[in-house]
Amino acid sequence: MVNVNRGANGNDSTTNGGSSGGQGQSQDFPPVHYLHELPQADEERLEKIFNKLDRDGNGRIDIHDLSSALKEFGLSHQYAERFLKQSDQTQSGDVGLAEFIHYVREHEKNLRLQFTHLDKNRDGKVDLEELITAFKELGIDMDRHEAAKLLKRMDKDGSLNISFDEWRDFLLLAPSSDIHELVKYWRHSTYLDIGEDLNVPDDFTQSEMQTG
């Protein structure tokens, strides 16, 4: 298990109780100085997500953990491989907590930029008309029916628009922040709410779950 410890001088250190394959390594990632700048709520949120993905509870996320989690969302093994490739900074074959938080924080910054581009009227939400306009500008071929379906897929609270939190949570495990890749991931995911219990809404048929 990766433990993040804060010393009296404000510096952070990590210890790894699992075997990461390195000799004499006390850190699974370079010093995590960024963690003391992370709001407590965000740190707890990301640690909760990490623990949910760590299926075998060994303090590391590997390809088996990711494949198992993403399979529940109707996503293929390739998405797990790509996410691990992007997040595994030390190329150890798995990801520890500090490494995971570092990657996800950078990914969320890029997701914020993409969300801002979609939010044409800057009200902090993306509605169907904004979604259709953005897709058209990006050259993404999508009719109104599919755009509405995708919005509903991400709209957890039934407000008929997408908040940044909904956007962020749904796309958290997307292996790229490129908007075209995000839309492809969005189309293939049946339902993704990694922050809550894993579930699929009743209105998705078995066919939709398989095809995305």
**Domains defined for the chain, CATH in brackets:** 104-211 (1.10.238.10)
Six token digits for residue 23:
């000799």
Q: What is the pLDDT along the chain (212 residues), one digit of tens a residue?
A: 334 444 444 444 444 444 444 444 434 444 444 555 789 999 999 999 999 999 999 999 999 999 998 888 788 889 999 999 999 999 999 999 999 999 999 999 999 999 999 999 999 999 999 999 999 999 999 999 999 999 999 999 999 999 999 999 999 999 999 999 999 999 988 655 555 544 333 333 333 434 44
Rounded Cα–Cα distance for residues 156 and 52 (Å):
19
Write a three-state SS string for 154-184: HCCCCCCEEEHHHHHHHCCCCCCCCHHHHHH
